[in-house]
Amino acid sequence: MNLNEIRARIETLKNRKIGMYRKDFLLTWEKTRDEIDATFDVADILRGLRDAGISPRVWDSGIAVSNFRDNSTRTRFSYSSACDLLGLYVQDLDEGKSQIAHGETVRETANMISFLTEAIGIRDDMYLGEGDKYQREVGKALDDGVAAGVLPDRPTVVNLQSDIDHPTQSMADFLHLAHHFGGLSKLKGKKIAMTWAYSPSYGKPLSVPQGIIGLASRFGMDITLAHPEGYDLIPEVVELSKKQAKESGGSFKHVNSMDEAFQGADIVYPKSWAPYDVMLKRVPLLHAGDQAGLKDLEKACLANNAKFRDWECTEQKMKLTAGGKALYMHCLPADITDVSCKAGEVAATVFDRYRDDTYREASWKPYIIAAMILLGKFQDPAKVLAGLVERNRKRVG
């Protein structure tokens, strides 16, 4: 984007009806279409500014809290990069993975870390029924803190992956699609296959496939969700996606065949996840610290997985897609057959061909996160961005 394009995009943003100020970004389906689009606008503008050498730094000081209750490399770096780009210093909150805080502790910690804090990024995807709940509890505590005059301002909470959604991933994925296909409007009528794929590992969260169907269904796409019997997602999210698909002028098919999903697809997203049932059973075992029970569950689950080794994104399967050239997507790291494991989600030659695409896909995440923060913190984001253009401060040199 050149400066004129940046300015035009700021005008577009100005005309959107959004109410994201002092709100958190937890689930894409809680956001209006205008708010989704505004997030893409801001992400594009921030990247445009940086590419043009103009510093998008809006804070001269300020803290961004990074609360990872599960391992992460790429989201951690995306979050740090986003915060640093805006001028925020990232302070880790290490609560320990296993500990689930409740009530008083959450309320207190949320306030104690927020006196000079602008944003709080939280990854909490280990326990079904807990991650999203925890993020809302933090948000509520912050609201109370502001209302009581304890906090000078409301930090914005960004969901860096919960048990339900992974909005920084799905939004980055779709900004990638918008750029790949020449605009969000081009997604209408495109067929996307969100399918389970075989992996030798176990217990991968449901939030990525849920995030994808929950967002794809906003753009009038033809969605096929495919997985072996028993590998369900959270039923409410599937129902919601069906409803949204219909409302946006698209469609939603739910099948048990990878081939059927790939047939004529414009986009394929083959990715392993653990069955909903297993994730449910895991929660009390994790809570109880029942290592033997967890081991048994893992064993049973892996044995079941093994029945579906043919759920692999092979060259053969790719041939079923539209023109044999569907865009392959993955949140990375992928389980690549004969590379990262003996048998995995994707054939090495397929992955090789799309590697740069998946890297490009990932490259949007820092900007998406920065956009979420900016929109949560400023009532008039267009004005703030216009101010950056006008200020015209060099990022480098």
- Contact flag: residue 248 with its own copies (CB under 8 A): no
Only one of the segments 141-149, 161-169, 193-201, 272-280 lies at the binding site for its own copies (rule: CB under 8 A); that segment is: 141-149
Say how far apart CA 324 and CA 316 lie, in whole Å.
9
**Beta carbons of 74 and 364 less than 8 angstroms apart:** no
Binding mask 58-97 for its own copies (x = CB under 8 A): xxxxxx-x-------xx-xxx-xx--xxxx-xxx-x----
Binding of its own copies by 255 (CB under 8 A)? no
SS3 276: helix
Amino acid letter at 344? G
* Burial grade of 158 (CB within 10 A; 0-12, 13-18, 19 or more): buried
Token look-up 């990074």 returns 66
Separation in Å, CA 183 to CA 41, 107, 148, 176, 395: 11, 42, 44, 10, 28
Applying CB under 8 A, among 12, 32, 109, 304 the residue interacting with its own copies is: 109
Determine, following the binding rule CB under 8 A, whether residue 209 of this chain makes contact with its own copies. Answer: no
Residue closer to its own copies by CB (options 103, 289) is 103
Q: Given the complex with its own copies, which of 91 and 201 has the nearer CB atom?
A: 91
The residue from 113, 283, 294, 302 that contacts its own copies (CB under 8 A) is 113
The answer to whether residue 55 forms part of the interface with its own copies (CB under 8 A) is yes
Q: Write down how long the chain is.
A: 397
DSSP state of 308: G
The answer to the question of residue 338 lying near its own copies (CB under 8 A) is no
Q: Which long-range contacts (CB under 8 A, 24 or more apart) does 231-239 make?
A: 231/196, 231/273, 231/274, 231/275, 231/276, 232/275, 232/276, 232/277, 233/206, 233/209, 233/273, 233/276, 234/128, 234/164, 234/206, 234/210, 234/276, 235/276, 237/164, 237/210, 237/213, 238/213
Per CB under 8 A, the list member of 98, 105, 185, 379 interacting with its own copies is 105
Binding mask 145-184 for its own copies (x = CB under 8 A): x--xxxxx--------------------------------
Which of 48, 56, 121, 275 touches its own copies by CB under 8 A?
Answer: 56
How many chain residues interact with its own copies (CB under 8 A)?
64
Which of these segments, 22-30, 219-227, 314-322, 354-362, binds its own copies (CB under 8 A)?
Answer: 354-362
The residue ranges that bind its own copies (CB under 8 A) are 50-51, 55-63, 65, 73-74, 76-78, 80-81, 84-87, 89-91, 93, 103-105, 108-109, 111-113, 115-117, 145, 148-152, 332-333, 336, 339-340, 356, 359-360, 362-363, 365-366, 378, 384, 387, 393-397
